[in-house]
Amino acid sequence: VVLFGIVLYFYNLLPWYWPPAWYSYIACIIAIDFFRYWAHRIAHEQRFWWATHVTHHNSEQYNFTVGFRLSWTQHIKIIFFLPVAMMGFHPVVFFIANQIEVLYQFWIHTELIKKLPRPIEYIFTTPSHHRVHHATNEHYLDKNYGSTFIIWDRMFGTFQEEGEQAEYGILKPVNSYNPVWLVFHEWVDIFKDLARYRTPRAWWRILFGNPSMVLDKEHYYGGKPAKGYVLKKQNLPLGSSMKSPKE
């Protein structure tokens, strides 16, 4: 509703607009999907945004219900779609295009559908692509961000073909069925980390650094994006039995 209101606001101000024709729907879907790719990717690469998204990934099962497993704070990412609002699409066109995008996400959360014909697999995001995205296998981590179109991943170097059986969840398990904790556990960890440091630089890196990075005393150690997993300074393999430095 908020996003629709923003689109309506800009539509009445902008000196340009797209006519409500069939090609406007196609252009709007492509535009939304492009910015959704980047919103999704940033949600895996910066810890603040990961906290708005982790709830969708902390399930260790993969079925249609995961499509409804969304964080209560996910709508903060609305800012990533402001460029689409300023493109001049009619609000109704935007609303319908966005709903198509959202509905498309439902059917790709399944293990029942195997790989589809190659032309479809090359252009569109399919269940096989999205299984990779939800997997914790090391070479599957942080791949296949595309929502409707997988071509963005092919273009920007984040594509991974499905091979071995996927193992689902996150690399730092929540180990809880409490719905409130499942939504806010990463936010709690962030605020705990913020309380440990007193410098703006440290706070910035805690909020917008990679989820797999960790502050240790006055130093900042990096690592490969790993779905919110907090790595120690030691160069241990992903998926090994490790505790967070906070524990």
Torsion, Cα 17 21 25 30, to 10 degrees, reads -60
The answer as to whether 46 is a domain residue is: yes
The answer as to whether 81 is a domain residue is: yes
The residue with tokens 């692509």 is 129
Could you report the average pLDDT of every consecutive run of 10 residues in the chain (247 residues)?
Answer: 75 81 95 97 94 93 92 88 88 91 95 95 97 94 96 97 93 87 92 89 90 55 44 36 31
- The whole-angstrom separation of Cα 88 and Cα 16 is 6
The answer as to whether 95 is a domain residue is: yes
Q: Give the torsion sign (CA, 118, 121, 127, 130).
A: positive
Domain count, the chain: 1
**Model pTM?**
0.82
Tell me the CA distances in angstroms from 79 to 35, 38, 40, 209, one per residue in order.
Answer: 10, 12, 12, 19
Domain limits at 38?
2-156
pLDDT at 75: 84
Residue 223 tokens read as 């690592």
pLDDT at 129: 98
Are 162 and 135 in contact by the 8 Å Cβ rule? The answer is no
The answer as to whether 183 is a domain residue is: no
Pick the closest to residue 54 from 191, 222, 172, 178 (CA basis).
172
pLDDT at 1: 64
pLDDT at 214: 55
The answer as to whether 185 is a domain residue is: no
Judging by DSSP bridges, how do beta strands 219-221 and 214-216 pair with one another? antiparallel
- The whole-angstrom separation of Cα 133 and Cα 114 is 15
The answer as to whether 99 is a domain residue is: yes
